Structure 1
Amino acid sequence: MLLYGRNPVLEALQDGRVSEVLVARGVEEAFVAQLKATGVRMKFAPRIELDQLAGTTQHQGVLAEVEDLEWASVDDILDLAEKRGEDLLIVLLDGITDPRNFGAIIRSAEVLGAHGVVVEERRSAPLSPVVAKTAAGATSYLPVAQTKNLPRLMDALKKDGVWVYGAAGEAAQDVRKVDFSGKVALVIGAEGEGMRRLVREKCDALVSIPVRGRVQSLNASVAAGILLFEASRGRA
């Protein structure tokens, strides 16, 4: 997989997943020094060559060939919560197909203390370079898993004592007033469509983020970040 962006490449270097990087000529010496300190082999090339390889100009002057990102398992997520000695906090995504939203949610989940993110196999963006770049290295630390059937997973989690909250703009329950102690799953639906009917019905409760402006909905990744913040704040 071709990875681009400074933070994702530096994180991959720390994990030992990079053997060589391609750097645009003219990149500032401070960043080149960071790369040299890792001992990685470097090649320099015109910026336009990196543009062509990455398929974008947003590569920040560095590309790296890395091992493909691998899906974790739901058990990996449960094991991480147990290893930390914490009640489970897991994010379930229902139909997030935009890779930038997917990556941003992974980043927020890692930063705010979740133990993992789960998507349904047929209804998700793949683990791509765009996801990795947007996640800014979070994919190196946070398990991201697939499940064949999200409603079935929700049932299994509920049997294990996990309380499942679904994000819904029309829900009467204000997320700021929710008790997020204990084992918690947060469900985020697709842009525009929200959660599927069956996924919505499987939730223990629906919660909303109060809005004051004329625009009555939030981007999925922004909504996920707010819910994760409220959950982490309540659990602290």
Structure 2
Amino acid sequence: MKEWITGRNPVYECLRVGRRHFFRLQLAKGVEQKGRIPEILTLAKTARLNVEWVDRDALEEYSDNPQGVALQASEYPYADLQAIFDLAKKKGEPLFMLILDQIQDPQNMGTLIRSAEVFGVHGMVIPAHRSAGVTPAVVNASSGASEHLLIAPGNLAQAIDAVKEQNGWVIGLDMDSSATPLSQTNLKGNLAIVVGSEGEGLRRLVREKCDLITYIPMRGKVASLNAATAGSIVLQAAAAVR
């Protein structure tokens, strides 16, 4: 299957990383030759990818804000769980993973992917069903960070068991009277952080599989943070002690 990636940073990162196959590159006629555009053209030349100059309106068929560029590429190349473990070992670092339990909003998914990549996560696990996949909208929301990150679809309970076999500590993020405040949670060592869905949080089986549930204390009048913001805060806290 083929899909269209739009936006200057997403297209640039796709071409720079080179994990996909590329078929067509379209740029809007008259687009200014500055910022990412010259870099995209250089990468396209290296990839022997011809540039098609098209009317700007034609690009808007692919997304609402293509920023004058669209890349036709193969679908996102998912990884497997073992590849994530192998990457941590190759780097000689404690395992650092993010597990998403039925995150369905593409913007939240993209934000969490971007945060995971920025904070040095080795890889992510998402459910094979009832979850946003790495679609062009998610690639765009992640600003292309998805192309750098290993993302494995699969059964979350089995993935958690596999993390524990790696001597990993699995910490779920949720609001609960019995949860441990983030400031009192040990985030060192081999670690997987589990973030629940936007509306319902962690599913019962996934929650029961976690070694510990943590929460972010809040002082304001707003009841809660969205999944992407809360997950990003915990990732930053974990990255700070690695």
Say whether the fold is shared (TM-score over 0.5).
Answer: yes
In the TM superposition, residue 19 of structure 1 has moved relative to its aligned partner by 4.4
User: What pairs with 1:38-57 in structure 2 (closer than 5 Å)?
Assistant: 38=43, 39=45, 40-52=49-61, 54=62, 56-57=63-64
Report the equivalent of 1:37. Answer: 42
Whichever residue aligns with residue 10 of structure 1, its letter is Y
Find 1:153's aligned residue among 151, 155, 159.
159
Which aligned runs of 4 or more in structure 1 are off by greater than 6 angstroms?
A: none
Equivalent residue in structure 1 for 2:151, among 141, 144, 165:
144
Q: Encode CA deviations 1:18-73: one digit per residue, 9 max, x unaligned.
A: 34311123322214433332224222222211112x1x321111101012112100
Selected match of 2:183 from 167, 176, 193:
176
1:105 matched to which residue of 2? 112
Q: Distance in 2 between matches of 1:26 and 1:176?
A: 52
- The answer to whether the 8 Å contact 1:188/1:224 transfers is yes
In the alignment, the residues of structure 1 paired with residue 68 and residue 113 of structure 2 have an alpha-carbon distance, to the nearest angstrom, of: 24
Equivalenced residue count is 232
**TM-score calculated relative to the size of structure 2:** 0.90
Structure 1 contact 8–137 (Cα < 8 Å) conserved: yes
Q: Is 1:197 paired with 2:201? A: no
Trace 1:39-118 onto structure 2 (pairs within 5 A): 39=45, 40-52=49-61, 54=62, 56-118=63-125
TM-score, normalising length from structure 1? Answer: 0.92
Tell me, yes or no, if the aligned pair for 1:94 and 1:123 is still in contact at 8 Å.
Answer: no
Gaps of 5+ in 2: none
How far residue 220 of structure 1 moved from its aligned partner, in angstroms, is: 0.9
Q: 1: distance between equivalents of 2:41 and 2:202?
A: 46
**How far, CA to CA, are the matches of 1:88 and 1:50 in structure 2?**
41
Query: How high is the sequence identity, in percent, across the aligned residues?
Result: 40
Given that residues 162 and 183 in structure 1 are in contact (C-alpha distance below 8 angstroms), is that contact kept between their aligned partners in structure 2? yes
Counterpart amino acid of residue 223 in structure 1: A
Pairwise CA distance, 1:15:
3.2
CA deviation string 1:81-106 (max 9, x = no partner): 00110110111111111122112111
What residue is the counterpart of 2:15 in the other structure? Answer: 13
Following superposition, the deviation at residue 123 of structure 1 comes to 2.5
Q: Is contact 2:11-2:40 (8 Å) kept?
A: no
Is the partner of 1:126 in helix, strand or coil? Answer: coil
Q: 1:216 aligns with which of 223, 226, 232?
A: 223
* Distance in structure 1 (CA, Å) of the matches to 2:128 and 2:11: 26
- Alpha-carbon distance in structure 2 between the residues aligned to 1:51 and 1:151: 40
Give the alignment's Cα RMSD to 1 decimal.
1.6
Shift of 1:128: 0.8
Shift of 1:14: 1.7
TM-fit CA distance, 1:227: 0.6
The Cα of 1:127 is off from its aligned counterpart by 1.9
Q: Is the 8 A contact 2:125 2:159 kept in 1?
A: no
- Stretch deviating more after TM superposition (115-124 or 40-49): 40-49
